[in-house]
Chains A and B, each alone.
Chain A
Amino acid sequence: MTRRTYLIKRVLQAVFSLWIIATILFFLFRMGLPDPTSVLITEGLNAEQRAAVRAQFGLEDPLWRQYVLFLTNAVQGEFGTSFSYRAPVSEIVWERLGNTMVLMLAAIVLAYAIGVPLGAWLSWRRGSSTDTVGIFVGLMFRSAPMFWTGMIAILIFGVGLLMFPTSGMRTLPYDADGFLDKIFTLDFLWHAILPVLIVALYYLGSPMLIMRNTMLEVYGEDFIEMARAKGLPERDILYKHAARNALLPVVTQLAVTIGLAAGGQVVVEVVFSWPGLGREILNAVRTSDFPLAQASFLIMAAFVISLNLLVDILYTTLDPRVSFR
């Protein structure tokens, strides 16, 4: 199998997975979630009025027709209209996804930029008390619930010291021409510091520990022995030879993490009232807003699948040991 056929095969696999997911989502929501009109019931709708609302939402059509319509639209990037907002779903989802991604990517980049060298350094100092403290701190932030760390951060820096805002992305109200205009401001940065820090601390542990452990394995490899025998300085051995080889699993982990980032950290979005996709999904499921929920989950799935695909493609370049089977 050549590299090219391998790539074509992988892309087809990804498209197939996405279709399966879309199908599952479509039926899962319609079977698992209550009728969207039940959200309106509290105001006392009778059966006739509910049927009218259902017809308006296109829910009175046979299921197979709804399904076909959903798929044909989805392929064209069209996800219909949100039941509760009465607005095009794609508009809402893209805006929210942008808000989520800017928070998550900043946090992940920060976590990896600090975590990777930190892990390498810890492996170097393995067994020392520095190593123990480092592992402990990493694991602690990994296991502490983010709503708790988030609330503590808000209490100390927001309410107590009044240093940082406690909610939102910008000082309200603000006017911005498009997404970039919204986030390239000091005001945004000032709002983002706390949530980004909380998420970054949570993610810090995994690159740090993966790096540390892979480094430890690499130290035992022949080529390190070889380098030592050549009398290369330890620092060079550590950063030029060992670290490069240890990066592979970290890169994999990074891609997977970024893939999962699209769903955001709902908890953080709630604690900091960050208008992201996670919060929106929560609302969509709560109100049985099928179009919005489907689109949000589908876009998240697309992210995960494409990043996995990317990892596989990267590996064919990065790791000569990968064969096309």
Chain B
Amino acid sequence: MTRKFMLAGTSMLAMAGFAAPGISQEHVASVEILTTTESYDPIRYEGAFIVAEAWRELGLDVSVRPMEFSTLLDRFYSEQDFDATILGWSGRVDRLDPQFFLGTLDSRQADLGANNPGGYANPDYDALYDAQGAEFDIDARRDIVHEMQDLYMGDVPVVVLFHRDEVVAYNNTQFTNMNAMAGEGLYSEWVPMEAQPVGDRTTLRIGGPQEPDNVNPLASTSVWGWKWMRMYYDRLVRLSPDVEPVPWAASSVDAVDDVTIDVTLREGMTFHDGAPLTAEDIAFTFNYYMDSEYSYFNSYLAPVESVEVTGDLTVRFNLSEPSAPFATITLSQIPILPAHIWSEIENPQDLTPEEIPTVGSGPFAFDRYDRGEFMSLTTNRDHFHADEIAVDGVEFVIYADAEGVFTALQTGQIDMTAWRMEPGQIPLAEGNDDLTVVSVPDFGYFHMTYNTRREPFDDRAVRRALTMAMDRERMVNVLLDGRGEVGTTVVAPVNAFWHNPFVERFEYDMDAARAELEAAGYSWDSDGRLQR
């Protein structure tokens, strides 16, 4: 970062009325916007230039620096070495609970590598964060969550640029009753259970450019690993398409008190190898994860102190502190592993692909995984939900890129896309009678995060002004082809229950931005550079 010092005496031409002669005026520090490379994501790349242009108009010296994605992540999260960065959070289902996104502004998550790299620190906000996390009453919790959104919004430590619509498609001559889910698109855990075959194929074929890193439930760290595994591993609770927690392997979940939760299992459940599923398996699974070095579930397991078996089908969870997201997130994300198989395994992370157990108790059973090419599951007819399932199995074909996926969809090789289509493919799909295009709003978001520890972003007024200078409406129209919506708070509008619609909006308004800066004592020199 370069900082230029300039005496007001040298700029006698400065706009009258701003610079009082004799007082030294200093140019506002130059800023650099970090973003992805154009090839990685043209949206974030172009977005940075749109923002930079507007900021220059405000008199700021701005440069844009596109970076290789993982380098960018490193700079942003591990080193926190940035002025402003454009990145995104994906809308994973477990993030529909406000805990995660609200946590990205918690000052105790501002250390290196954690989720609040901008370093926003507001004690009131932190206190409310703890309060909502411990509030079991959902309406009371919602009030706190709404208050938090209102509280931070005026400080704009981070700007939610926009939410992109997930545009996916399926072949309606093969399957019907395909209900897309916010943040998941068609590749949700429900679509395979709800899809009705109407063509000649009874197995649902999904195609996508991503494949699991591995299918080891103690090593996989990718969404693609878990999207696949959750179909053959059951959870105690599943989140319904409307994101309501519904008891799944659990027949009931009862809070004995703030920190004691009793879970009763369904009767008669078995694993795919025929072994009965009992409370022992549940206790084993949770303890196994807590004792392992696998960190992917750490945040879900954080509130769990211990798990004890209280009967054949009953387990008791003891929490270290009250945790509202326990039922929605923890119970819905941890897969149930068969104790009789995994208890033999000492270093689960070192398993080779051939050694990885694939026995679950889910509605589908693991069939095969040919890396880079193909995966398949067969419907588990012994499952308690089996009568609702119309397909005989689920297959996943792995392609090298989105182009290959779309070609396969057009030629009927696959029935649905696992991942969003490219903008150019959408009109082609819309013009094809055999294909139904589905658009689901995302609750993940693209954001511009200011480093609140650095000039000029340590000044609330600057952050507010620079946010007003962003034409996010235009960004949605230009960058997303209109398929998306302008962001407000970190809790997306589509997440209707938790989202607070009555917050400051920061509409695009250059005049208001200038006024905000002037009121805070900023002025412009003869070249229009912002100074103070």
Tell whether, in the assembled complex, residue A44 and residue B400 are in contact, meaning their CB atoms are under 8 Å apart: no
Tell whether, in the assembled complex, residue B214 and residue A84 are in contact, meaning their CB atoms are under 8 Å apart: yes
Report Cα–Cα, A172/B371, bound state, in Å: 12
Task: Tell me which of B214, B295, B407 contacts A45 (CB under 8 A).
Answer: B295
Chain A's nearest CB lies how many Å from the CB of B207? 9
Interface positions, chain B 367-384, Cβ under 8 Å from A, are 368, 370-374, 376
Residues from chain B with a CB closer than 8 A to the CB of A162 are 411
Chain B's nearest CB lies how many Å from the CB of A43? 6
Which of B74, B216, B349, B400 counts the most A-chain CB atoms under 10 A from its CB? Answer: B400
Residues from chain B with a CB closer than 8 A to the CB of A168 are 373, 397
Tell whether, in the assembled complex, residue A38 and residue B368 are in contact, meaning their CB atoms are under 8 Å apart: no
Asked if A173 is at the interface of the complex by the 8 Å CB criterion, the answer is yes
- Mask, A169-193, CB within 8 Å of B = 1, is 1001100000000000000000000
Asked if A41 is at the interface of the complex by the 8 Å CB criterion, the answer is yes
Tell whether, in the assembled complex, residue B407 and residue A270 are in contact, meaning their CB atoms are under 8 Å apart: no
Asked if B398 is at the interface of the complex by the 8 Å CB criterion, the answer is yes
Residues from chain B with a CB closer than 8 A to the CB of A34 are 68, 70-71, 73-74
Given A42-B73, A87-B353, decide whether A273 and B400 contact each other with a Cβ distance below 8 A: yes
Chain A's nearest CB lies how many Å from the CB of B93? 14
Tell whether, in the assembled complex, residue B400 and residue A279 are in contact, meaning their CB atoms are under 8 Å apart: yes
- Mask, B221-255, CB within 8 Å of A = 1, is 10000000000000000000000000000000000
Chain A's nearest CB lies how many Å from the CB of B215? 10
Q: Which of B109-117, B119-127, B173-181 contacts A (4 or more CB under 8 A)?
A: B109-117
Report Cα–Cα, A92/B296, bound state, in Å: 25
Tell whether, in the assembled complex, residue A41 and residue B298 are in contact, meaning their CB atoms are under 8 Å apart: no
Asked if A12 is at the interface of the complex by the 8 Å CB criterion, the answer is no
Tell whether, in the assembled complex, residue B373 and residue A47 are in contact, meaning their CB atoms are under 8 Å apart: no
User: Which residue from chain B places its CB closest to the CB of A52 in the assembled complex?
Assistant: B293
Interface positions, chain A 31-45, Cβ under 8 Å from B, are 33-35, 38-45
User: Which residue from chain B places its CB closest to the CB of A162 in the assembled complex?
Assistant: B411
Residues from chain A with a CB closer than 8 A to the CB of B221 are 39-40, 43
Chain B's nearest CB lies how many Å from the CB of A165? 8
Tell whether, in the assembled complex, residue B113 and residue A173 are in contact, meaning their CB atoms are under 8 Å apart: no
User: Which residue from chain A places its CB closest to the CB of B225 in the assembled complex?
Assistant: A84
Tell whether, in the assembled complex, residue A87 and residue B77 are in contact, meaning their CB atoms are under 8 Å apart: no
Asked if A274 is at the interface of the complex by the 8 Å CB criterion, the answer is yes
Tell whether, in the assembled complex, residue A47 and residue B113 are in contact, meaning their CB atoms are under 8 Å apart: yes
Tally of A-B Cβ pairs under 8 angstroms: 135
Task: Tell me which of A40, A42, A44, A167 contacts B299 (CB under 8 A).
Answer: A44
Report Cα–Cα, A161/B18, bound state, in Å: 72
User: Which residue from chain A places its CB closest to the CB of B69 in the assembled complex?
Assistant: A286
Residues from chain A with a CB closer than 8 A to the CB of B350 are 81, 86
Task: Tell me which of A40, A45, A86, A173 contacts B351 (CB under 8 A).
Answer: A86
Report Cα–Cα, A273/B114, bound state, in Å: 36
Report Cα–Cα, A81/B213, bound state, in Å: 13
Interface positions, chain B 49-82, Cβ under 8 Å from A, are 68-71, 73-74, 77-78
Asked if B401 is at the interface of the complex by the 8 Å CB criterion, the answer is yes
- Mask, B415-456, CB within 8 Å of A = 1, is 000000000000000000000000000000000000000000
Given A86-B216, A166-B404, decide whether A41 and B352 contact each other with a Cβ distance below 8 A: no
User: Which residue from chain B places its CB closest to the CB of A154 in the assembled complex?
Assistant: B407
Residues from chain A with a CB closer than 8 A to the CB of B113 are 41, 45-47, 50
- Mask, A286-300, CB within 8 Å of B = 1, is 111000000000000
User: Which residue from chain B places its CB closest to the CB of A99 in the assembled complex?
Assistant: B372
Asked if B270 is at the interface of the complex by the 8 Å CB criterion, the answer is no
Report Cα–Cα, A272/B213, bound state, in Å: 21
Report Cα–Cα, A85/B221, bound state, in Å: 10
- Mask, B149-186, CB within 8 Å of A = 1, is 00000000000000000000000000000000000000
Asked if B261 is at the interface of the complex by the 8 Å CB criterion, the answer is no
Residues from chain B with a CB closer than 8 A to the CB of A247 are none
Report Cα–Cα, A274/B70, bound state, in Å: 25
Given A173-B374, A271-B403, decide whether A41 and B111 contact each other with a Cβ distance below 8 A: no
Tell whether, in the assembled complex, residue A172 and residue B397 are in contact, meaning their CB atoms are under 8 Å apart: yes
Residues from chain B with a CB closer than 8 A to the CB of A42 are 73, 89-90
Report Cα–Cα, A152/B516, bound state, in Å: 55
Chain A's nearest CB lies how many Å from the CB of B283? 24
Tell whether, in the assembled complex, residue B399 and residue A273 are in contact, meaning their CB atoms are under 8 Å apart: yes
Chain A's nearest CB lies how many Å from the CB of B353? 5
Tell whether, in the assembled complex, residue A167 and residue B111 are in contact, meaning their CB atoms are under 8 Å apart: no
Residues from chain B with a CB closer than 8 A to the CB of A134 are none
User: Which residue from chain A places its CB closest to the CB of B205 in the assembled complex?
Assistant: A172
Asked if A159 is at the interface of the complex by the 8 Å CB criterion, the answer is yes
Residues from chain B with a CB closer than 8 A to the CB of A47 are 78, 111-114
Chain A's nearest CB lies how many Å from the CB of B418? 14
Task: Tell me which of A40, A43, A49, A88 contacts B352 (CB under 8 A).
Answer: A88
Report Cα–Cα, A38/B78, bound state, in Å: 8
User: Which residue from chain B places its CB closest to the CB of A92 in the assembled complex?
Assistant: B371
Task: Tell me which of B71, B78, B213, B373 contacts A85 (CB under 8 A).
Answer: B213
Asked if B8 is at the interface of the complex by the 8 Å CB criterion, the answer is no
User: Which residue from chain A places its CB closest to the CB of B218 in the assembled complex?
Assistant: A86
Report Cα–Cα, A50/B111, bound state, in Å: 13
Tell whether, in the assembled complex, residue A85 and residue B74 are in contact, meaning their CB atoms are under 8 Å apart: no
User: Which residue from chain B places its CB closest to the CB of A169 in the assembled complex?
Assistant: B373
Asked if A143 is at the interface of the complex by the 8 Å CB criterion, the answer is no
Residues from chain B with a CB closer than 8 A to the CB of A38 are 70-71, 73-74, 77-78
Chain A's nearest CB lies how many Å from the CB of B155? 22
Residues from chain A with a CB closer than 8 A to the CB of B213 are 84-86, 287
Report Cα–Cα, A44/B298, bound state, in Å: 9
Task: Tell me which of B78, B214, B295, B395 contacts A52 (CB under 8 A).
Answer: B295
Asked if A53 is at the interface of the complex by the 8 Å CB criterion, the answer is yes
Asked if B410 is at the interface of the complex by the 8 Å CB criterion, the answer is yes
Tell whether, in the assembled complex, residue B78 and residue A166 are in contact, meaning their CB atoms are under 8 Å apart: no
Chain A's nearest CB lies how many Å from the CB of B94? 11
Residues from chain B with a CB closer than 8 A to the CB of A46 are 111, 113-114
- Mask, A260-303, CB within 8 Å of B = 1, is 00000000011111110001100000111000000000000000
Tell whether, in the assembled complex, residue A86 and residue B214 are in contact, meaning their CB atoms are under 8 Å apart: yes
Tell whether, in the assembled complex, residue B73 and residue A173 are in contact, meaning their CB atoms are under 8 Å apart: no
Asked if B128 is at the interface of the complex by the 8 Å CB criterion, the answer is no
Pull 10 A–B residue pairs with CB atoms less than 8 Å apart, ordered by A: A34-B70, A39-B221, A42-B73, A47-B113, A84-B214, A86-B216, A166-B407, A166-B411, A273-B400, A273-B401
Sample of 13 further A-B pairs with CB below 8 A, known A162-B411, A270-B404, A273-B400: A34-B71, A42-B89, A44-B115, A47-B113, A85-B213, A86-B351, A159-B411, A166-B411, A173-B374, A271-B404, A273-B401, A286-B69, A286-B70
List the 3 closest pairs (A to B, CB-CB), nearest first.
A34-B70, A275-B372, A49-B295
